[in-house]
């Protein structure tokens, strides 16, 4: 009976789930790129104006360079990051340089790996399926592989992420071909964003029966999935930030962002699909451990976000809660290894394709 109800729910529901991806892409990328030492030769890149055409994105999207007052409103994201600032008041994330100034490939890739989350994919109609994936941004930042049960495609793949990676890889080719290394690397940063997104289990499987309240299935599936998605993102964003600042951790996560293996890449689109399949295999356990570790407080029919005190209590978990913490950290560490492997493999492929070595 419940299976038939679930099928009905998934066809009725328009999942308006907030799309967090990996929060703090800039920090995730910064850690991963410590393994890409070949980037060090590109330390004197001049910031160039945007001279490209892209009719596939939000027409209201703005190209940002340096950190402006307008951009500061995007950092932190709705106040959900508790430790985003350094002691001197500066940011851990995006800083940026003005047109004409010098920067490095490393900084470009770190700064702008967050760029697709700056409203680039909002305010558009991409496809009918977008309403089942949190709207236009979700449609582009999530990818449900073939074989996973979902609305509306049942078992067929759903989502546009592989196409976005392919698209910006070709824009990068266009930039490098005319000697514009700044935008060559900045387009690669956008590719990295989407690759990292599909390494996140919450971005590769639509939902779980564990998130459904059968007395109110539509509202519960939407809200509860969003709540656990959000708390997963914010918790691990702050875990990385705490560790990056040198704070002690029961179960460190940063080392796993340096463990990805470089594998041969057929093409960027295939790599994205392969990454999503690996991540999707973790999703069932991810949903289960999220409920166990974060608790039933997020299994409610109202928007629920973690606050700083709650995060601190979880971060310094003790007793049985520390056992649960190890389980969810071990799971996320697998996702981090997938992310780092995908990014490093992608950059090796790009270096060879664009003759960057």
The string of pLDDT tens digits covering residues 11-34 is 444 444 445 567 889 999 999 999
Q: What is the pLDDT of residues 321-338, one digit of tens each?
A: 999 999 999 999 999 999
**Percentages helix, strand, coil for the chain, rounded to the nearest 5?**
55, 5, 40
What residues does 85 pair with on adjacent strands? 91
What residues does 150 pair with on adjacent strands? 154
Is pTM beyond 0.85 here? Answer: yes
C-alpha to C-alpha distances, 243 to 114, 300, 344, nearest whole angstrom: 20, 30, 22
Give residue limits of the domains in the chain.
2-353
Alpha-helical segments (H) within the chain: 2-12, 25-32, 69-72, 105-112, 136-141, 161-177, 181-197, 217-244, 268-294, 308-315, 320-353
| Confidence category of residue 127, pLDDT binned at 50, 70, 90 | confident
Whole-angstrom distance, CA of residue 51 vs CA of residue 26? 24
Q: What is the mean pLDDT of residues 202-216?
A: 83
Q: What is the mean pLDDT of residues 87-114?
A: 88
Q: What is the pLDDT of residues 284-309, one digit of tens each?
A: 999 999 999 999 999 998 999 999 99
Q: What is the mean pLDDT of residues 72-79?
A: 68
Residue 21: per-residue pLDDT: 65
| Confidence category of residue 69, pLDDT binned at 50, 70, 90 | confident
pLDDT over 90, % of the chain: 68
What residues does 102 pair with on adjacent strands? 46
Q: What is the mean pLDDT of residues 345-351?
A: 98
Higher-confidence residue of 187 and 140: namely 187
Whole-angstrom distance, CA of residue 118 vs CA of residue 116? 5
Residue 15: per-residue pLDDT: 47
Residue 77: per-residue pLDDT: 63
| Confidence category of residue 146, pLDDT binned at 50, 70, 90 | confident
Q: What is the mean pLDDT of residues 232-243?
A: 93
Q: What is the mean pLDDT of residues 184-210?
A: 94
Residue 78: per-residue pLDDT: 58
| Confidence category of residue 152, pLDDT binned at 50, 70, 90 | low
Residue 270: per-residue pLDDT: 98
CA atoms within 13 A on the CB side of 303: 4
Angle at the Cα of 229 from the Cα atoms of 225 and 232, rounded to 5 degrees: 140
Largest CA distance in the chain: 64
Whole-angstrom distance, CA of residue 110 vs CA of residue 41? 16
């Amino acid at each position: 009976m419940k299976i038939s109800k679930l099928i009905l729910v998934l066809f009725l529901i328009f999942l308006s789930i907030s799309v967090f991806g990996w929060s703090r892409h800039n920090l995730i990328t910064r850690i991963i790129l410590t393994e890409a030492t070949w980037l060090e030769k590109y330390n004197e890149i001049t910031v160039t104006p945007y001279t490209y055409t892209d009719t596939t994105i939000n027409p209201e999207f703005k190209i940002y360079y340096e950190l402006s007052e307008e951009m500061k409103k995007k950092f932190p994201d709705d106040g959900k990051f508790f430790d985003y600032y350094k002691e001197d008041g500066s940011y851990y994330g995006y800083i940026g340089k003005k047109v004409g100034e010098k920067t490095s490939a490393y900084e470009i890739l770190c700064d702008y790996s967050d760029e697709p989350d700056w409203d680039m994919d909002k305010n558009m109609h991409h496809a009918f399926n977008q309403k089942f994936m949190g709207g236009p941004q979700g449609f582009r930042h999530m990818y449900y592989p073939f074989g996973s049960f979902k609305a509306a495609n049942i078992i067929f793949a759903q989502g546009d992420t592989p196409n976005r990676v392919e698209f910006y890889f070709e824009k990068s080719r266009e930039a490098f071909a005319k000697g514009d290394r700044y935008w060559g690397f900045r387009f690669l940063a956008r590719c990295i964003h989407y690759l990292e997104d599909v390494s996140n289990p919450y971005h590769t499987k639509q939902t779980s029966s564990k998130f459904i309240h059968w007395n109110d299935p539509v509202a519960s599936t939407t809200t509860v999935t969003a709540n656990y998605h959000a708390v997963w993102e914010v918790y691990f964003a702050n875990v990385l930030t705490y560790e990056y600042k040198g704070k002690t951790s029961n179960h460190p996560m940063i080392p796993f962002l340096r463990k990805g293996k470089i594998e041969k890449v057929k093409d960027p689109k295939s790599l994205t699909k392969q990454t999503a399949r690996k991540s999707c295999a973790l999703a069932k356990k991810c949903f289960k451990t999220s409920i166990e570790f974060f608790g039933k407080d997020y299994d409610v029919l109202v928007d629920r976000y973690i606050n700083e005190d709650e995060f601190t209590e979880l971060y310094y978990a003790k007793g049985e809660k520390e056992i649960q913490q190890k389980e969810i950290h071990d799971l996320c560490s697998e996702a981090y290894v997938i992310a780092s492997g995908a990014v490093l493999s992608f950059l090796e492929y790009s270096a060879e394709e664009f003759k960057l070595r």
